[in-house]
Amino acid sequence: MRSIRNGLLFISPWIAGFAAFTIYPLAASFYYSLCDYSVLKPPVFVGGANYHELLTDPVLWKSLYNTMYFAVFFLPLATLLAIVLALLLNTGVRGMTIYRTIFFLPSLTPLVALGILWMWMLNGEYGVVNYVLNMVLNPLGLQAPIWLQSTAWSKPAIILMSLWGVGHAVVIYLAGLQDIPKQLYEAADLDGARWFSKVRHITIPLLSPAIFFNVVMGLISALQVFALPYVLTDGTGGPARSTTFYTMYLYNSAFRYLRMGYACAMAWILFLIILALTLLVYRMSRKRVHYGG
C-alpha cells in the first residue's frame, strides 16, 4: 500500500498535467459542442443543435470533400516518393551523407516560409514553375495552369507543395532499410533475383512496419492540413472555396465567426473520422505488415 502511495506521489505532477491539459480540454470541448457559445458570452445549452446544423452546412461538406481529396492523393504520392528517395539514398554512392542532408533540409523549413516561397514559384504570370512549363508547352500550343487562381488546379498545387516535406518519412524508411539483413539480398543474388524482385519480395515486406507507421501518421496529418492553405489564401480558402479545408473552416468558425460551440462540434466529428479511418488502416494492415522475429 505504501509503495502504491509513493508511486502515485511521484507521478502526481504528470497526472496533474494530463488532467489539466488533456482531460479537461476534451471534456470542455464536448460540453461546448452542445452549447451556443461565442466566448464573449456564457454558453447556452442547445443539445445536439450544432451537430444537426453540421449535417446541412454546405461549406462543411465542401471542406470535407477538399480534405478527403487532399488525403486521397497526397498520402499515396508521399508514401511512394519517400520510399523511392529512401531506396536511392540507401545506395553506396560516394558523398551519400551530403545527399541525405539535402533531401532532409526542406522538411525543416517552416510552413509559413514554405507557403510564401511556393506562392512566388507558382505565380501564374511570373512564377519560375510556369516559366519552365511554358517553355515546353507553348510550342505544343498549350499553356501552363494558373495553379492557385484556378479551382481545378489549386488543390493539386497544395499537394505538390506538401510533397516538399517528405524528409521525415525518408529518415524513417532509411532506418528501416538498414535493419534488413544483408544475407537475404545475398541469398537472392545467388538465386539470380533481379532488383525489382528483391524490392518486391524482400524490401517492401520487411519495410512494412515503417510503411504502416508513416501511413497512419500521414493520414492523421493529411486530415488536419491547415497552415499551408491558410497562408496561401489568407484564410479565405479561395478561389470559390476550392482550398477550404476542414481545419480551416473549424478555425474560422471558432476565431473569425466566434462560434466556438459549432467549432467544438466540428472538432469532435473530425476526431471520429480520424479514429474510424485509423482503425480501418490498422485492420487492413494485419496481414500485410510483417514484423521481424
pLDDT in tens, 170-180: 999 999 999 89
Average pLDDT over residues 16-39: 94
Residues 65-112: tens digit of each pLDDT:
999 999 999 999 999 999 999 999 988 778 888 888 888 888 888 888
Q: By three-state DSSP, how is residue 45 classified?
A: strand
Name the helix (H) or strand (E) containing 44: strand 44-45
| Nearest partner of 44 among 53, 31, 56, 55, judged by Cα | 31
The Cα–Cα gap between 14 and 265 comes to 28
**What separation in angstroms does the CA of 189 have from each of 91, 180, 195, 198, 237?**
16, 15, 9, 9, 53
DSSP state of 35: E
The whole-number pLDDT of residue 103 equals 84
The whole-number pLDDT of residue 292 equals 66
**What separation in angstroms does the CA of 34 have from each of 22, 41, 44, 66, 274?**
19, 15, 8, 26, 21
Which of 19-33, 118-132, 261-275 has the least mean pLDDT? Answer: 118-132
Q: Which cell numbers hold the place of 128?
A: 519560375
Contact 209, 289 (CB under 8 A): yes
Whether 19 shows a pLDDT value over 80: the answer reads: yes
The whole-number pLDDT of residue 271 equals 96
Average pLDDT over residues 184-206: 92
Name the helix (H) or strand (E) containing 36: strand 35-36
Cis peptide before 239 (omega within 30 of 0): yes
Mean pLDDT of the chain: 91
